[in-house]
Structure 1
Amino acid sequence: MLVSPGFLDAHQHLDKTGVLPFTPNPSGTLQGAREAFAKYARTAGPNDIRKRAMRTIRRCLSRGTTAIRSHVNVDKDAGFHGIETLAGVRDRAQDDIILQLVAFMTPHPGQDFDWLAENIDRAVALADAVGGTPAVSEDPPRYLDMLFSAAVKAGKPVDLHLDEHLKADVHLLDAALERVERFGMQGRTVFSHVSVLSALPRKEFQRIAERLRALDVGVVTLPAANLYLQGRDAEMLPPRGLTRVAELYRAGVTIATASDNIQDPFVPTGSGDMLEIARWTLLAGHLRGDELTAAHRMITTAPARLMGLGKDYGLRAGARADFVVTNCVDTDTLVAGGPDRTFVFSRGRLVSQSATETFGLKEDA
């Protein structure tokens, strides 16, 4: 039997989960997904959000996930329904699963800064971190300043959707890194996606990777969304759309992997199984067969660091005792093929167990 620390999903969208039947995205693009959810968000009420989120949380817990960081839209379309509802879910579920909320201050084309500026403090007060999408803003430098200022004021970390595209000439990596340094947010900032790193020349990537490492900025790769949404306009050799997973890992940058969206217009699939995401990360991120343990770290110790879980996490005296017991012999086997029997513990209590049994093809007696 193998005992692993609980799996961690460092980037989800629980306000969006499960809306696929109601949010068609015929183009399969990132912009199409944004528009589809924005339309749906105008009518999504607290009960709808709560039911969908709880369904996904339960499924994640049953598959060994003991902590989730969820970005939650706060904008003119979604209002505060998502962040207020999920703050209640977070507080009620704390004995079973750790939930962290990122106030995802979502800019839309044509939306001025007044609404975001007037409401960001209220949103951040309900959240555990501050986030947003600078590339979508009409004034990225001003938008970045607003996010980092709010984070410093509230004493909370920053988690950005940064450069979720493959346009090498318009990236915001240097602008974001400059603010990490200026606002003193070293070790408290995460860049999610950063797909554009795969489009940069290698020397430019290496320069930025060194700055990420020096400023202790973490990265979260999101293979499901990037594989699905990126590269649809390519006439040939469509790109994978992920960041440089293997190279960041080998350069010493703290990198985690996560689900991102689950069954919505951004990603139409998703089971809440972090082992599945780890496999996708190894394959699409060009890790090697001898780096299965690295993929395991990307769903355990790496996200624990990025989420600031500290001594509460892990297999040590005094921790929360969130762990997963399986019939695998080691972490390589766990990631490569998965378990047949799983027992999930939260705060030392058994909260889920599952087993796969095959009744055919029995061995000869």
Structure 2
Amino acid sequence: MARDNPTVSLAHLSPGQPFALTGGTIVTTDGSQAVSDIMVGADGRFVAVEPFLDVTSCDARIDITGMLVSPGFVDAHQHLDKTGVLRFTPNPSGTLQGAREAFAKYAGTAGPEDIHKRATRTVERCLSRGTTAIRSHINVDKDARFHGMETLAAIRDAEKNRITLQLVAFMTPHPGQDFDWLEKNIDGAVALADAVGGTPAVSEDPPRYLDILFSAAVKAGKPVDLHLDEHLNAGVHLLDAAIERVERFGMQGRTVFSHVSVLSALPRREFQRIAERIRALDVGVVTLPAANLYLQGRDAEMLPPRGLTRVAELHRTGVTIATASDNIQDPFVPTGSGDMLEIARWTLLAGHLRGDELAAAHRMITTAPAHLMGLGKDYGLRSCARADFVVTDCTDTDTLVAGGPDRAFIFSRGRLVSETRTALTRVENSCLKEDA
């Protein structure tokens, strides 16, 4: 096809039609960039991703020279059961505890239809902005029970050909939590989920709580993803306790610590000791800049802290670190659009990455979270992987992260699911003179 109008051609691909894209710049699994051709099969998977492919057998061939192809964005930490409840859940204090209390009051009234409507809307918005995989933590406790898990499990299964959705059984330890109830119900929750999670810092008995979570994960053969030390009190943290259980339960390479805000409050030598243990055990880290910027440090009398973990240092130490949305328009984070490029920018700025580390921020929303979610060979621009990708008019990942595209085409399982365009409407001077 003619090179003069590739964007029109992209927009008119037929659903399920095999096609080839030639001459584009692709982002490889190691983060490098190279000109390559792409063939997508009728099954929605990549047939081949190599330079100078013979694409004459493809009915649809589109030259995308000068355009960038990125793997689909991955949001490794959301709360889809909470999304979109901001107007129902006021949090006047703006604190983490205030947000917990606000949602707890609402959770008992949130039925399946309400959860389904809000979660589906957010999933659609995320997909339209290039996110093709999401891991969501879903509250399970005596109040919320299994409503959220059952509803999101239905969405996960119904939408599996459009978006990869993983669920974390977020066993929520409210004050007064009945551990007998938790132990009795955790296996049922984990059976519906893809991972096991919780928040030890607010448990009344953190050691027992951690043992329950890790035991259930091992029994079910599923990974662990903890909300760990989402606070800035250097005198109280559970990092060593959690790390000890990673070793004892054999969960190396299958555990994620989300938030770990307290690392930024620890003396550097103590941080370095813990970071080395995290790296050695192949524990992943997810930073949540929106929530930590919004909720943390409100009680500081001077120079309120950013609230994030040590993003730049963890990255440079070799720890696998991803960044994610966390909450979207709820009492924990009142903003959010589902745009992972926005989250990448917040991470670079608030996490003290440098201007020459824009590519690292891109990896934090693509290959790093894909690794933490265990997507394996099903992810990335490679033969046989799901054809989940984003085509933009950016020249490289630096420009993609720094400012975003003016044109973007989102493909999920080889089908175009969203097209976005930013353009100015010009008014001729002569028209202005006539109106004057």
Distance 1:115 1:108 in 2: 12
Amino acid at match of 1:150: A
Once the two structures are superposed, the pairs formed by residues 279-318 of structure 1 within 5 Å of their partners are 279-318=345-384
Query: Aligned equivalents of 1:78 and 1:38: distance in 2?
Result: 8
Q: Name the structure 2 match of 1:233.
A: 299
Name 1:153's counterpart in structure 2.
Answer: 219
How big is the shift at 1:77?
Answer: 1.5
Aligned pair 1:27/2:104, yes or no?
Answer: no
- Give the alignment of 1:1-365 within 5 angstroms: 1-360=67-426
4+ long deviations beyond 6 Å: none
Report the secondary structure of 1:143's partner residue: helix
- In structure 2, C-alpha distance between the alignment counterparts of 1:111 and 1:65, rounded to whole Å: 35
Cα deviation for residue 314 of structure 1 reads 0.1
Aligned residues: 363
> For the residues of structure 2 that align with 1:362 and 1:256, how far apart are their CA atoms?
47
Equivalent position amino acid for 1:329 in 2: T
Tell me how far apart the structure 2 counterparts of residues 56 and 173 of structure 1 sit (CA, whole Å).
Answer: 32
Higher helix share: 1
| Cα distance, 1:360 vs structure 2 | 2.9
1:142-176 CA-partner distances (Å, limit 9, x unpaired): 00000000000000000000000001111000000
Secondary structure class of the residue paired with 1:69 = strand
Q: Which amino acid aligns with 1:339?
A: P
Q: Sort the Cα spacing of 1:362 and 1:141 in 2 relative to 1 into closer, same or farther, 3 A.
A: farther
Q: Does structure 2 conserve the Cα–Cα contact (< 8 Å) formed by 1:39 and 1:77?
A: no
CA distance in 2, matches of 1:17, 1:263: 6
Q: What is the RMSD of the two structures over their aligned residues, measured on CA atoms?
A: 1.0
Q: Show CA shifts across 1:237-280 (max 9, x none).
A: 10000000000000000000000000000000000000000000
Cα distance, 1:115 vs structure 2: 1.2
**1:19 Cα deviation from its structure 2 partner:** 0.2
Q: Distance in 1 between matches of 2:141 and 2:105?
A: 12
1:137 aligned partner, one-letter code: S
State the alpha-carbon separation in 1 of the partners of residues 212 and 83 from structure 2.
Answer: 28
- Which moved further from structure 2: 354-363 or 248-257? 354-363
State the alpha-carbon separation in 2 of the partners of residues 18 and 146 from structure 1: 31
Q: SS state of the match for residue 28, structure 1?
A: coil
Q: 1:65 to 1:362 in 2, by over 3 A?
A: farther
Give 1:114 deviation, angstroms: 1.2
TM value normalised by structure 1 = 0.99
Matched residues in 2 for 1:327 and 1:22: separation?
Answer: 39
Per-residue deviation, 1:329:
0.4
Distance (whole Å) between structure 1 residues aligned to residue 414 and residue 243 of structure 2: 39
Instruction: Supply the distance in 2 between the matched residues of 1:46 and 1:232 (Cα, whole angstroms).
Output: 34
Q: Secondary structure at the match of 1:168?
A: coil
Q: Displacement, 1:362?
A: 8.4
- The answer to whether the 8 A contact 1:167-1:196 is kept is yes
Letter in 2 for 1:309: L
> What CA distance in whole angstroms lies between the structure 1 residues aligned with 2:82 and 2:428?
43
Quote the offset at 1:290 in angstroms: 0.2
- Residues of 1 paired with 2:374 and 2:178: CA distance? 33
- Residues of 2 paired with 1:112 and 1:47: CA distance? 28
SS at match of 2:170: strand
Rounded Cα–Cα distance in structure 2 between residues aligned with 1:173 and 1:299: 24
Offset of residue 112 of structure 1: 2.2
* CA deviation after TM superposition for structure 1 residue 361, in Å: 7.7
**Aligned-pair CA distance for 1:35:** 0.4
Distance 1:305 1:156 in 2: 15
Write the letter of the residue equivalent to 2:367: T
Amino acid at match of 2:243: L
SS at match of 2:235: helix
Separation in structure 2 between the aligned mates of residue 310 and residue 129 of structure 1, nearest angstrom = 16
TM-score (norm 2): 0.83
